[in-house]
Amino acid sequence: MSRRHLSIKTTDTMIVLLDLDGTLVNTAHSSFKPLKDGLIETNLAAIPVINGAREFVLNLTNLGHSAIIISDSHPRYVNAIAKQIFNLPALCLADKPNARKTIDYLAQSGHDIQLKENFVVVGDTWLDIELARALNFPSILTQFYTSNEVDQRDGIGKTWHQLKSGPTYVVKQFSQIFEILQNPLANLWAAEAIFQNVNTFCAIRLNDLRVNDHMTIFRSLGRQDVGECDRFGIATYYTEFQRVGRSQPTLNKFAEAVKNFVDNVVASAPQLRWDYMTYVADKASTNPPNKMSEFFELVSSPIPKIRLLQWVDTVDGSIRNRINYKERRGFIHQNLHVIPGIDLTGKSVIIIDDQFTSGGTAYEVTDMLRQKGAKNILFLTLFFMTSSVSSSRNCSQCGKPMQLKIRKSDGIKFFSCTPPQYRGSGCGHIENIAQ
């Protein structure tokens, strides 16, 4: 599926903060570690430049954009490549995702980091994406290579780790970066774009499972950002969606985002017939009551809408109180069931839910439908919970990094030095509650 829907162009020039290893040069493999650590001399002839990287950098500058390499590697290695291969300035030993060195470097270079919309971070790992979020800059996750090994620190070989970090965009080709720079709003995830008054059908690709001629697709329409993020994250709308008194305009916008995506799914694969659209039902104790069913009614679609799932009457507790994936799946398996009497044999079903956190609900529900004979399944959520990102702001009491949080009752943001009882290591001090 194409990422674009509307052509919304910008002529603004950007400052592009580029990761080096795995983004411009194919040196993510552990065999390059002695080079990156500065232990041996860098032989430029032995550095595998990613196909198209030189042309990409040249085109960036020709279009008036500025590029800076931001790397965790040693100056002996980084500077040689930055100067002699790409002719770019570079910050070495950046200590990503800690934002302090990057902030200091940009300030010393005369860049005004308050102009958040003028910056974008491009990189292949969670370190790059969480750095961008700490800076409140948009980010582009690159997927230019496939790793056959796992690196614990950078998360190389762990695609899920990179996605969970919460990138604004995901690309597989350099040309897509230019599309984003030219049309940033038109490439946003659908539920984020809708609050910029733009219609897109972009969705976060969480997973695709194919067995024989059956497929199960998992997608999400926006990021429920935990902590700092760029201006497009929609965590504030998540808190509104969950509370009593949520506004009708907000619900209408989410319904429109779902419609935009589903209409494109139908149009892009006319040979595939979707038989039903359904949703993950609410428990009787849900507050506000009938939260998802009321929203589901707002979604306009030619696909027949039906209720397929219901909770047992004796359900006790909440899935939110189950921390890990296994516990969440067990809770769903025990308490949520397909309504008897509905034949799903050979049917293709779209399921709408509010949030994808660990995937426990998504994978358990799709397994239920598969066991009932469903053929193709699309599990679609409004929100995808990202990793927690600390702020570059330090606590005035203990000096530890604070986290930007959202008060659930009214959506007001504040900074918290999160204490251990809330899974943090801070002193509990709160600062700067917005008015």
Question: Which tens digits make up the pLDDT trace of 359-375?
Answer: 999 999 999 999 999 99
Q: Report the pLDDT value the prediction gives residue 269, as an integer from 0 to 100.
A: 82
Distance CA 184, CA 420 (A): 38
Residue 144: pLDDT band with limits 50, 70, 90: very high
Average pLDDT, integer, range 397-420: 89
Q: Report the pLDDT value the prediction gives residue 3, as an integer from 0 to 100.
A: 43
Q: Report the pLDDT value the prediction gives residue 318, as an integer from 0 to 100.
A: 74
Q: Report the pLDDT value the prediction gives residue 148, as an integer from 0 to 100.
A: 63
Q: Comparing 126-140, 179-193, 258-272, which segment has the lowest mean pLDDT?
A: 258-272
- pLDDT per residue over 93-114, tens digit each? 999 999 999 999 999 999 999 9
Reply yes or no on whether the pLDDT at 312 is more than 60. yes
Q: Report the pLDDT value the prediction gives residue 287, as an integer from 0 to 100.
A: 80
CATH fold of 204-388 reads Rossmann fold (3.40.50)
Distance CA 383, CA 242 (A): 11
List CB contacts of 232: < 8 A, sequence separation 6 or more. 138, 168, 188, 192, 196, 223
**Architecture of 15-187 per CATH?**
3-Layer(aba) Sandwich (3.40)
Distance CA 392, CA 100 (A): 7
Number of Cα atoms under 13 Å in the Cβ half of residue 59 = 13
Query: Tokens 């939110």 map to which residue?
Result: 320
Q: Report the pLDDT value the prediction gives residue 11, as an integer from 0 to 100.
A: 45
Q: Report the pLDDT value the prediction gives residue 2, as an integer from 0 to 100.
A: 38
Token pair, residue 93, equals 């030993």
Residue 5: pLDDT band with limits 50, 70, 90: very low
Reply yes or no on whether the pLDDT at 236 is more than 60. yes
Domain ranges of the chain: 15-187, 204-388
Q: Report the pLDDT value the prediction gives residue 154, as an integer from 0 to 100.
A: 65
| Same CATH fold assignment for domains 15-187 and 204-388 | yes
